[in-house]
Amino acid sequence: MTSLPFQAFRIRDDKDGYRAGIEMMRADDLSPGEVLIKVAYSSVNYKDALAGSGKGKILRQFPLNGGIDVAGYVAASTDPAFKEGDAVLCTGCGLSETRDGGYAEYARLESKWTIPLPTGLTLRESMALGTAGFTAALSLFQLVRNGQTPQMGPIVVTGATGGVGSLAIDILTRAGFEAHAITGKVEQFDWLIGLGAKQCIAREGLHWGQRPLETARWAGAIDNVGGDMLAGLTRVIRPYGSIASCGLAASADLATTVMPFIIRGLSLLGIASAGTARPIREQVWERLAGDWKPAHLNEIAKTEAGLAELPAIFDRMLAGASLGRTVVKIG
């Protein structure tokens, strides 16, 4: 079966220009790896939209299949740790950057990054989470590891209606934290409250002040935005709180001072989900399948699409018009 041609959403950049679309290919043409899987689901992340549209430099080589997330069943494996029919997943780890990603009917994975589907998650749920859910949970994992507790006070989430943000609200609530939301989409306040947010703040109404330290409002933060938003947050986090920096939807720049760090003991934690070491990766996925599993996962990931619909979804996401998560059903 695996010798037959199959569909893939392939991204090219050559003398004919940057382009992406559905092509036919064979398993022998996929990037090398020990585990060949029959893909069931993938998902759409901001990086996928940038890569698939050509509006961001994500791929480091061409051509490659898009999709930084993938979940499915093992079709063949040269690693005895994986047997035919095993349900597995993979997020990040070079997918759609240096090797073929999950937007195809088959994908070949390196066994060192292939994660057995944890008990408590279906394949679809694992991709409703995907890199976004893993990033949100990794942010909380690192906050807790750095000493953050629910008793310290609320955690504010920026970019709260996006994939990472909405899942972070739900995961924080499940973990016993009080979650607050900052968003530019005031029309989605009720939706965020339904996910567990105790307070919603309009992005346009925020005024951080100009002093290096302003009145402390939150015990910590998960920031998806960067730029002025992240700089503002550093001024208003309570003593010995932490900010998990996991995105740059607004800007990669950061203009701040050392004052919050040396006077309030603020910690700024970098969240690099794509290359997370396997032991931590496994712990985070176990939490996502257990006590941190979002209670509103189906509500956050209501949208489902096929490969042919990806370009339109990318355009909506990059225009800031998406809400929650999109699951890609393959085959």
Kindly provide the b/e burial profile for residues 271-305, where b requires at least 16 CB atoms within 10 angstroms of the residue's own CB: bebeebeeeebeebbbbbbeebbbebbeebbebeb
What local confidence, expressed as pLDDT, does residue 232 receive? Answer: 97
The Cα–Cα gap between 237 and 260 comes to 8
What local confidence, expressed as pLDDT, does residue 331 receive? Answer: 74
pLDDT digits (tens, 9 = 90+) for 62-97: 999 999 999 999 999 999 999 999 999 999 999 999
Mode of pairing for the β-strands spanning 106-109 and 35-44: antiparallel
Which DSSP helix (H) or strand (E) runs through 98?
none
Domains of the chain: 6-117+301-329 (3.90.180.10), 132-273 (3.40.50.720)
Closest CA to 282 of 117, 70, 81: 117
What local confidence, expressed as pLDDT, does residue 2 receive? Answer: 63
Mode of pairing for the β-strands spanning 106-109 and 87-91: unpaired
pTM of the model: 0.96
Neighbours of 61 (CB within 10 A): 10
Mode of pairing for the β-strands spanning 17-25 and 6-14: antiparallel
For residue 69 the two structure tokens come to 């997330």
pLDDT digits (tens, 9 = 90+) for 184-238: 999 999 999 999 999 999 998 888 888 999 999 999 999 999 999 999 999 999 9
Mean pLDDT of the chain: 96
pLDDT digits (tens, 9 = 90+) for 113-139: 999 999 999 999 999 999 999 999 999
Where would I find the H helices in 119-255? 123-145, 163-174, 189-195, 227-236
**At which residue do the structure tokens 């996991």 appear?**
246
The Cα–Cα gap between 269 and 241 comes to 11
In sequence order, the β-bridge partners of residue 7 are 24
